[in-house]
Amino acid sequence: MTDPVTVRIARAPDCEDVPLPAYETELAAGVDIRAAVREPMTLAPGERALVPTGLHIALPEGLEAQIRPRSGLAARHGIVLPNAPGTIDADYRGEIRIIMMNLGDEPFTIERGDRIAQMIVAPVLHVRWNLVQSLDDTQRGHGGFGHTGRQ
């Protein structure tokens, strides 16, 4: 395991009771993010909403934060993040808010402090494009969208 990276984090003034993101197990890849809703928020089937977390972060240059769904919410309730993974850039200082959508059959209620997503901090590589006339051939070639493994 590598040494942790220090990331500055701030809470909105009315969110001191909402726990900071935390790794729930020793080898977890992501930290769980919690809802900072003022009152319970119910998502009807097919509905989506922007859920506040009350968190602001300052990532070091060269890092991004990826917001991903929690598998248990998806499996048990059909709750997904339609833009997953969402990206938080190193220069963003606004509140982290999570776009949640209910693809389940029943209404789903989000309470203050509920774990609603996970966040993974990862390195970012910038590329320099080298425009060429053609690319080298590969075994796969132009095949895509389920092409590999088909005869």
Least confident of 1-5, 16-20, 88-92: 1-5
In a domain, 108, yes or no: yes
Q: Which of 116, 112, 126, 113 is nearest to 30 (CA)?
A: 116
Residues in CB range of 93: below 8 A, 6 or more apart: 56, 58
Domain interval for residue 80: 8-123
Is the C-alpha dihedral spanning 122, 31, 86, 91 positive or negative?
Answer: negative
**pLDDT higher than threshold 70 for residue 44:** yes
In a domain, 105, yes or no: yes
For residue 149, name the pLDDT band (cuts at 50, 70, 90).
low
* Number of separate domains in the chain: 1
**pLDDT higher than threshold 60 for residue 151:** no
| CATH number (domain holding residue 88) | 2.70.40.10
In a domain, 46, yes or no: yes
**pLDDT higher than threshold 80 for residue 21:** yes
Q: What is the pLDDT of residues 60-77, one digit of tens each?
A: 999 999 999 999 999 999
In a domain, 143, yes or no: no
